[in-house]
Structure 1
Amino acid sequence: MQLNDEDLLRYSRQILLKQVDIEGQQRLAAGRVLLIGLGGLGSPVALYLAAAGVGELHLADFDRVDLTNLQRQVIHDGDSLGQSKVISASSRIAALNPQVRCVLHERGLDADSLSAAVAAVDVVVDCTDNFTTREAINAACVAAKKPLVSGAAIRLEGQLSVFDPREASSPCYHCLYGHGSEEQLTCSEAGVLGPVVGTIGCLQALEVLKLLAGFGQPLVGRLMLFDALNSQFRELKVRRDPACAVCGGDGH
């Protein structure tokens, strides 16, 4: 994909980076990303991917904007109250960077539509807040062999990892979390500070840019933990489970 003079000016600061350069910017422009969840995590992901010039953003969320969202879901504003989050987010993206094409999924994705949505993109970003949905997204990514950038945040803690079924050694979400925990609280139940989800969302956007442009080392086989209370990051190694019910028999 050729860049015109306006593109070169708009993206000049990141094109200056040797890790990106013009070739990397062209890869971003050709990139297609499915972003599931346009709340606290999805807001910064969508904004930074659009600003960076990712060519096509597939936005999925069945929810509508309400007043409690505005404390952390920064892609929405007071004028968006009552509006579909997908419509609200796409309007903000168009204002930020009209070159980005948005594909909208306003209804919840069932098994068939989720598989089709995953197959249509290069990278999937999980910005949801419940275990069942995350498991479904993971299974679809494993089946389609599409990299998954997974983030979560609650209270004053966040975590982030990348699961890439194209790599033989990569674990999947199920390898790490199995059947989930007994306690599956959401932000509406346990609370969360806005900059915590913002931090994790920004890091998710960074991982997507690395995957699309082809630079650096994505967080494959690693789980990053963020402790906002003490401003600390930790990293844990995560191994693939050969007996995993999701990716164990996929030919890795």
Structure 2
Amino acid sequence: MTVLLDARGISLSRGSRRVLQPLDLRVRAGRTHALLGPNGAGKTTTLGILTGLLPPTTGRVEVDGIDIREPAARALLGYAPDDLPLPGALTGREYLTLHDRLRRRDDGERADALCTLLGIREALGRQISEYSHGMRRKLQFVAAVAHDPLVLVLDEPFRGLDPRAAALVRRYLAGFVAGGRSVLVATHDLLRAERDSDHVWLLDSGCVVAEGAPAHLRELAAADDLEQAFPRLTSDGLDDAAEEQLLREVLPITEAADENLPLHPTPERTTP
């Protein structure tokens, strides 16, 4: 299967500290990929390197065989970071026009159609400072996909979206991948990652500790789902027994049932 985004031996050091250990990632055509990991695992750093915004200490990234440092490679990417501050003094329309100018393209009609789909077209004449968090996320998504890229790299793309918009974005991404393109999503939403992804990388402390189809990760962890597999494959320092003991200490419970049953409140906390 064709590799559209190819990272070989990428790493990042800050001074004497290795933030990201050397790793290889291959994002393939017609597939959805997920990058998972606890806070501080290196997901955002990895996305920065993959999109050419952050130069790696070692390694190389190519998009469809073109070095990521080349403008032609970056033109093939669409990137929507998580919570990137947007220029509040610009209107939504001015922000999208700025993206067009940076790419030396005119994708206004396509952007308008996407904004209509996501319900923000009527707000394009307003300053971004007046937008809600969800509206800003929708605008970021439109800016990432309006130029019809080959690969989409999205950091928590569903955060802040209303249910209708989230469903529309999911449908868009499914059609995008079905057309032979690629999606890479960094997320903490393990349920969505398990449902939507063909291939998963699990990062921990700057290293890939597991990768493969969701079913493979479940098998590695002897788990029923990714939510159960995640703590078993990452080094949080706590095993299941230790977690349960701490829950007993911090929660007002009289007994901790098995994982499929709710915890029981103490009589003092029970509402009559």
Instruction: Select the structure that is richer in strand.
Output: 2
Establish whether TM, by shorter chain, passes 0.5: no
Point out which structure has higher relative CO (alpha carbons under 8 A, 6+ apart): 2
The structure number with the bigger radius of gyration is: 2
